Chains A and B, each alone.
Chain A
Amino acid sequence: MLAIPGQGSPADVEFERLYRASRDDVYAYVATLMRDRFAAEDVTALAFERAYRKRASYRPGRGTPRAWLFGIARNAALDELRRRARSTAVGAEPVDDSAPFPEDEAELGARRVAVRSALESLQPRERELVALKFFAGLSNAELAAVLRTTETNAGTLVHRAIHKLREACHETA
């Protein structure tokens, strides 16, 4: 169990639980937005640092702790994206899709290549939706809280993105 300083308070205990449950999910989401592994690590650390500083300001009525945490991570990632866009044009890290697949997994490998290509073809906003839904495992309600939209609208956006992804997969195949 993590020994976060001041863990005696309920807020600290809750934060520790949130950190352990969300560390990899936040990284996956941020990495999808940033498309740069090292930048994603910096932003993930920054997001947790900010969330830890602001942990007392969390209000349950405004969404789940995960939605709150992903909102902070989103802001940090978007700020960093803007900063990087201003300072220098950093190209996206090339996706390593040349990894060899065993022969018996050739079909699965082809499927993965198709999915990766389809993901690349998505717009950034659609890629963000996919990351929140399938990489971070957020519910539609949490997704709506992060994107500051309604749950219905979030569901529609996810549905639209997944269909676009499916079509892109078919084209690639």
Chain B
Amino acid sequence: MRLRREPELDPNTIRELEALDAALAGREVAPQDEELASLAVALRDERPEPRPEFALDLDLRAREGFETTARAARAEPKHRPRSSRRNWGLALGAAASLFIVATGVIGSGVLDSGGGRTAGKQEPQVMLKPAAPPASAPSTVGAAPQREAQSVPAPAGADIAPRAPKREVERAASLTLATPRDRIEDTADDAIRVTDRHGGFVLNSSVTAGEGTKAGANLDLRIPSTRLQQALADLSDLGHVRARTQQASDITAAFRSPRRRLADALAERRALLRQLARAVTPNETAAVRARLRAVNRRIDRAQAELRRLNQRVSYSAVSLAIEPGSRESAGGGWSLGDAVDDALGVLRTLLGAALVALAVLVPAGILAGFGWLAYRGWLRRRRESALEM
């Protein structure tokens, strides 16, 4: 495509150019162009001719397929390294492009956005909430099991200890399972067995069987936090997982006040016991005993509060809902629907990666194209400059 219209040659120039061509071809020219024609012929006669030895040598090389000879190699010493450098440049450019693409794909999080075996299900979401307000404590059932990070009342002066305070984390999870309508009760029983096996207990449960729309089960479970992940995995095997979420809340701050109150009350109790030992009159003894009773009540309250908090840390609240579902979706294993979901997830991921790659490669390609054109222009100008030397 030409953006500018070519200026046309004037008739006189055209005539003279045609006269030149005619003279070179040995044809007659107009009398007015005879001088020009004779100049053209004279010029042609000045043409440099190759030496016969060179012509013969070149013919021989042509016969051998123009193998590179030492002489030709001498004439081209600068080109091969340049070509090599260009190849290195291309290789570096390609590597940089790949790096950019890989960084873009990884940075975009496309690869993290799906493709798991349970695509289509909600993946566990773990959220660590900073210093959540203490929730109402559950009723104390049974003794708290040994925790990995057992919280104990800190001794007096522990707050000024140089080590960082241990974090107390309360965990919760909710799980929604689908199971055939006639298996809702069995699944609820299986869930209770799983809970028992992991050392947990059922806080509340409600099971509605039958053909009605309200068929289903809801179980409020408490599972030792150290066994939570394994218990959730076992519960997930009981049916088709429709939803699964997990939460974690940092309740370390809630422990500070009862620990401080407990430490203060214990110190006061020790002081009162010493006073009681020194008391000599019945009145003094009665007064100290009354204060001791009050301190003991404060100690009991602080300890109860700490026990409730420990309970929340030691046991995770698991809300399990069992809903009626089709046999295919409730099979518990990897069903055809799961396969379709997984396939769609993989396609989504690939499409996202391809889009990210395109977003990087298209501008890079355009830039490379401009660079190539600029390089060609520069090379051409550099070559042309040889005629000015």
Q: List A residues at the B interface (Cβ < 8 Å).
A: 2-6, 16, 19, 23-24, 27-28, 31-33, 37, 39-46, 48-49, 52-53, 75-76, 78-83, 85, 111-112, 115-116, 119, 124-125, 128, 130, 133-135, 137, 139-140, 148, 150, 152-153, 155-156, 158-159, 162, 165-166, 169
Contacts and interface: CB of A to CB of B under 8 A. Distances in A.
Interface string B42-60: 1111111111001101110
Contact of B7 (A33, A139, A152, A162): A152
B69 A82 contact: no
Interface in B348-389: 380, 382-389
Main secondary structure of the interface of A (DSSP, over half): helix
B389 A49 contact: no
Nearest to A3: B63
B223 to A, nearest CB: 73
Given A112-B46, A140-B17, A80 B75 contact: yes
A155 B24 contact: no
Contact of B64 (A5, A27, A148, A150): A5
Interface in B60-76: 61-66, 68-69, 71-72, 74-76
Contacts of A116: 46
A80 B9 CA distance: 35
Contacts of B13: 155-156, 159
Contacts of B385: 82
A2 B50 CA distance: 18
Given A85-B386, A169-B39, A4 B62 contact: yes
Contacts of B55: 23-24
B48 A134 contact: no
A13 B213 CA distance: 86
Given A152-B9, A156-B9, A156-B13, A78 B386 contact: yes
B17 A159 contact: yes
Main secondary structure of the interface of B (DSSP, over half): helix
B30 to A, nearest CB: 16
A78 B384 contact: yes
A78 to B, nearest CB: 4
Contact of B48 (A2, A5, A27): A27
Contact of B386 (A5, A31, A81): A81
A90 B384 CA distance: 18
A52 B66 contact: yes
Interface residues of B, number: 55
Interface string B18-53: 001100100000000001100110111111111100
Contacts of B61: 45, 48-49
A150 B6 contact: yes
B16 interface: yes
7 contacts: A24-B55, A27-B49, A31-B50, A78-B384, A133-B20, A134-B47, A155-B9
A79 to B, nearest CB: 7
A158 B389 contact: no
Q: Give the most central of A19, A148, A159: most B CB within 10 Å.
A: A159
A46 B76 contact: yes
B78 interface: yes
A80 B152 CA distance: 88
Given A42-B71, A82-B385, A28 B47 contact: yes
Contacts of B76: 46, 76, 79
B211 interface: no
Given A115-B43, A159-B17, A48 B387 contact: no
A80 B385 CA distance: 12
Contacts of B44: 134-135
Given A32-B48, A134-B44, A48 B66 contact: yes
B20 to A, nearest CB: 7
B62 A19 contact: yes
Contacts of B48: 27-28, 31-32, 37, 40, 135
B176 to A, nearest CB: 66
Nearest to A116: B46
B163 interface: no
